[in-house]
Amino acid sequence: MTSLTARQRSKVILEHIEGTPTVEIARRAHLSVDGVEQILHFHSANASNKPRPSGPSPRPQPEPRRLVYWLEGRIILSELPNILHLMRHVTAQTICLTITDSPKSVWEIASETGIRPDFVEEIMQGLLEAGAAVSVDGGKYLLNFIALKTEAWHRLIDFIRQPAQDAAVLLAKSETRLKAAFEETPLARSGWSFREVIWPLYAGIVATLGIQRNLPPGSRRCDPPIQPNGLRHIMGAYEIRLGEAPLWSVGCHADWSDEELNLGCFWAPFKSEDKYRFSRAFVRVLEAFAKEPRTKTEALAGLEMDASEAERHVLELLDKGFLRANNGFFRPAIPIITHADNDILLAPVNRSLRPIIEHVLSPTFTRIEKMLSEWGYERLQTQYNRWHRWIGSRIMGEAMRHLMHHGMLPHVEEPYPTSFAFLAWEPQLPLMTWEDF
pLDDT, one tens digit per residue, over 62-71 is 467 888 887 7
The CATH code of the domain that includes 126 is 1.10.10.10
Q: How far is Cα 78 from Cα 75, in angstroms, rounded to an integer?
A: 9
Same domain, 305 and 275: yes
Same domain, 400 and 268: yes
Contact between 87 and 66 under an 8 Å Cβ cutoff? The reply is no
The enclosing H or E element of 393 equals: helix 384-405
Question: Which stretch of 171-185, 270-284, 358-372, 394-408 has the lowest confidence by average pLDDT?
Answer: 270-284
What tens digit of pLDDT does each residue of 292-326 get? Answer: 889 999 988 888 888 899 999 999 889 888 899 99
Q: What is the pLDDT of residue 251?
A: 83
**What is residue 79's DSSP assignment?**
G
3-class DSSP state of 237? strand
Same domain, 96 and 201: no
Contact between 171 and 352 under an 8 Å Cβ cutoff? The reply is yes
Same domain, 375 and 313: yes
Residue 67 has phi, psi (to 5 degrees) of -115, 145
What tens digit of pLDDT does each residue of 75-133 get? Answer: 555 555 566 677 878 888 999 999 999 999 999 999 998 888 888 988 898 888 878 89
Q: What is the pLDDT of residue 369?
A: 95
Per the model's pLDDT, the better-predicted residue between 216 and 197 turns out to be: 197
**What is residue 104's DSSP assignment?**
B
- Say whether pLDDT at 280 is over 90: no
| Average pLDDT taken over every residue of the chain | 82
Residue 168 included in any domain:
yes
Please name the residues in contact with 370: beta carbons below 8 A apart, sequence gap of 6 or more: none
Residue 398 included in any domain:
yes
Q: Which residue range forms the structural domain that includes residue 176?
A: 152-221+246-432
Which ranges of 193-336 would DSSP assign to H, the alpha helix? Answer: 194-199, 211-214, 280-288, 296-301, 307-319
Same domain, 423 and 348: yes
Long-range contacts of 36-39 (CB under 8 A, 24+ apart): 36/12, 38/1, 39/1, 39/4, 39/9, 39/12, 39/13
pLDDT average, residue stretch 419-425: 84
Same domain, 386 and 271: yes
The enclosing H or E element of 174 equals: none
Same domain, 171 and 205: yes
- Say whether pLDDT at 49 is over 60: no
pLDDT tier for residue 436 given thresholds of 50, 70 and 90: very low
What tens digit of pLDDT does each residue of 331-352 get? Answer: 899 999 999 999 999 999 999 9
- C-alpha distance from residue 14 to each of 86, 89, 91 (Å): 8, 7, 7
For the chain, give the number of residues: 437
Residue 241 included in any domain:
no
What are the E-state strand segments in 209-328? 234-240, 251-255, 262-267, 294-295, 323-326
- Say whether pLDDT at 61 is over 60: no
Query: Count of domains in the chain?
Result: 3
Same domain, 408 and 282: yes
Q: Which strands make up the sheet holding 66-72, listed edge to edge?
A: 66-72, 234-240, 147-148
Q: What is the pLDDT of residue 71?
A: 75
Same domain, 308 and 400: yes
Same domain, 29 and 175: no
Residue 329 included in any domain:
yes
Residue 164 included in any domain:
yes
Of 98, 119, 144, the domain-final residue = 144
Residue 437 included in any domain:
no
Same domain, 88 and 6: no
CA 207 to chain centre: 15
Choose among 426, 420, 360, 431: nearest CA to 396: 360
Same domain, 302 and 159: yes
Q: What is the pLDDT of residue 178?
A: 97
pLDDT average, residue stretch 287-293: 85
Residue 412 included in any domain:
yes
Is the bond preceding 415 in cis, omega lying within 30 degrees of 0? yes
Q: What is the pLDDT of residue 389?
A: 85
pLDDT tier for residue 2 given thresholds of 50, 70 and 90: very low
Q: What's the alpha-carbon Rg for the chain, to the nearest Å?
A: 25
Q: What is the pLDDT of residue 80?
A: 52
Per the model's pLDDT, the better-predicted residue between 175 and 55 turns out to be: 175
Per the model's pLDDT, the better-predicted residue between 3 and 138 turns out to be: 138
Residue 240 included in any domain:
no
3-class DSSP state of 263? strand
pLDDT tier for residue 437 given thresholds of 50, 70 and 90: very low
- Say whether pLDDT at 1 is over 50: no
- Say whether pLDDT at 206 is over 90: yes
Please state, for a pLDDT cut of 90, what percent of the chain lies above it. 41
Choose among 1, 350, 353, 340: nearest CA to 187: 340
Highest mean pLDDT among 255-264, 319-328, 366-375: 366-375
pLDDT average, residue stretch 243-272: 75
Q: What is the pLDDT of residue 118?
A: 85
Please name the residues in contact with 14: beta carbons below 8 A apart, sequence gap of 6 or more: 85, 86, 89, 91, 92, 119, 122, 123
